[in-house]
Structure 1
Amino acid sequence: MADKDLDFLYQCSNEQLKLLADFMLYDKDGKLRWTEEISSTQAFKLYYPHEMVKLVPTLIDELQKFGGNTLFNMFRGHGVSYREILTSVCKQLKVSYHKDASTELIEHYMLQKFLIMSVEKMTEEDVHHLSEKLTKESLAKQIGLLKAGSPLFIRLTTMLITQMATKYGLKQAANLVAKFAGGRAFAVLAGPIGWVLSLGWVAFDIAGPAYRVMIPCTITIAYLRMVYDKSEDELNDILR
């Protein structure tokens, strides 16, 4: 099913698309999900992992099916839109948003929720390592005021993606961690972000197996939307 909210994926890099695909393919134990259908397709055999853009229609179809009820999918012949998946995830996370808000803004609110939850798990000493002028409360407020796509928000969200990739044992995790090597912010935030992700996994295990795919995928798609049009040099400058 065509989905205008995911058209930008055709402009993502091979590495970025492989990151998204691997979250769909593998569970947090590094094993192929028993529910995934991507690896059995002809497109996967032809294009993974070197021509990922040609696999985008398959990835979109897989995600939409995860978001829809299996029986309903059989009648419709397809799943549900990405926006419906996103709002379903936000409902589970208790993320507030206006029903008429853009998809990008809803994604931003979702990412903010994860980051603010991470700050809440930090100690005041952790926050002072980031800046002596900050407190937990002021840092949470600052995150709440950051605009989508701002350098600091991209840095924080990249840390979120890095921790998530590490939890899944994805090869891309090593490359992402390397970009932050020795960085004070990463050292301070890695633990709290990892804790929040673990909490999220428990919540989504209870909510149903589809959410085990939908949560990492919506986070990854929201992240890719912010960075897909930035050059490697631009991203490296932001992440330093």
Structure 2
Amino acid sequence: MAYREDADLVFFSKLDSDSLNDLVYCLTHDKDGSVRFTEELTYNETYKNHYPDHKKYWELIAAEIQCFGANTFATLLRGGKGVPYKEILIDVCDKMKVNYSKESSTEKIENNLLMKILTDALEKMSPEELKELAESIGVSNINLMTAESLVGIFQAVFRAGGFKSYQLTLIIVNAVLKAIIGRGLSLAGNATLMRTMSILTGPIGWAITGAWTAVDIASPAYRVTIPAVIQVAALRQKHLYEKQAADVNFS
């Protein structure tokens, strides 16, 4: 396993180790908590020497994603290097029937994937659940709105960016990961986000999870690449939001 230069994953170097915890767990453990037979990360000496300080081996984490998304024999021919992240993202989007353009930026394609996940989940919710979700992220004046208009508001919130969009991303990603890898995101230390996540213990969480229990990810590769790509997309949103917030505070 060797990291290939990848402009779409270099932002890992800007993340703290805690932020990378969930992604590392996803790459190294199956849904039942056992270590994956096909992972290579935990065998690396750099990993062994510095775990759990993931920031010190972010390239290895990126390489693990690249290799899971590649054909094993082809990886050997490339000297142990996998494929660029964008190729993996596009493959996942094709699998999930996401509408996107290959010419778009990686961030835009990830947003299309997250929007598809969001829309699929929202369509499973009752009007009451939609209103509860809207209230949880601070959307007001919703009592007279229809389910269709609420879906439109959520989509507009997501596209607008900012903290509400970040909240919405984490709510959806958290529930999806619980459904497909058996555990959600680690958000200790952020009281606002923890309160937001509390709604996932009720019907809203069941609705989002239910939308994913029927997803066919029987392929061992997809069992890794789908949750990994969803987490990378969420991490990118986190990085961009925190960068934006820091720029505002600095100015």
TM-score of the aligned structures, taking structure 2 as reference length: 0.81
Answering whether residue 151 of structure 2 is matched by residue 134 of structure 1, we say no
Aligned equivalent of 1:204: 217
**How far has the Cα of 1:140 moved from its partner?**
2.4
Task: Give me the whole-angstrom Cα distance separating, in 1, the residues matched to 2:230 and 2:40.
Answer: 21
Q: Distance in 2 between matches of 1:155 and 1:35?
A: 33
Counterpart contact for 2:66–2:84, Cα < 8 Å: yes
Helix, strand or coil at the partner of 1:55: helix
Give the match for residue 238 of structure 1.
none
For each residue in 1:100-123, what CA deviation from the matched residue of structure 2 results, as whole angstroms up to 9, or x when unmatched?
Answer: 111000000000111111111111
* Residue 180, structure 1, aligned to residue 194, structure 2: yes
**Is the Cα contact below 8 Å between 2:166 and 2:241 reproduced in 1?**
no
Unaligned residue ranges in structure 2 (runs of 5+): 135-141, 247-251
1:193 counterpart residue number: 208
CA distance in 1, matches of 2:118, 2:42: 32
| Root mean square deviation of aligned Cα | 2.6
Measured in 2, the distance between the counterparts of 1:53 and 1:17 equals 8
Cross-structure match for 2:228: 217
Between the aligned residues of both structures, percent identity stands at: 31
Q: Which runs of 5+ in 1 are unaligned?
A: 236-240
How many residue pairs end up in the alignment? 229
* Secondary structure of 2:159 counterpart: coil
Q: Please, which of 1, 8, 12 is the counterpart of residue 11 of structure 2? A: 8
Find out whether 1:47 has 2:61 as its counterpart: no
Distance 1:177 1:91, change over 3 A: farther
Kindly indicate whether residue 114 of structure 2 is the aligned counterpart of residue 111 of structure 1.
yes
Correspondent of 1:157 among 152, 169, 176: 169
Q: In the alignment, is the contact (CA less than 8 A) between 1:127 and 1:135 conserved in 2? A: no
Secondary structure of the corresponding residue to residue 170 of structure 2 = helix
- Greater fraction helix: 1
Mapped to 2, the partners of 1:41 and 1:227 lie a distance apart of 28
- Displacement, 1:92? 0.5
Moved more, 22-31 or 175-184: 175-184
TM-score where L is the length of structure 1: 0.84
d(CA) in 2 for partners of 1:172 and 1:219?
11
State the alpha-carbon separation in 1 of the partners of residues 88 and 167 from structure 2.
25
> 1:15, 1:193 → 2: CA distance?
25
Distance 1:197 1:43, change over 3 A: farther
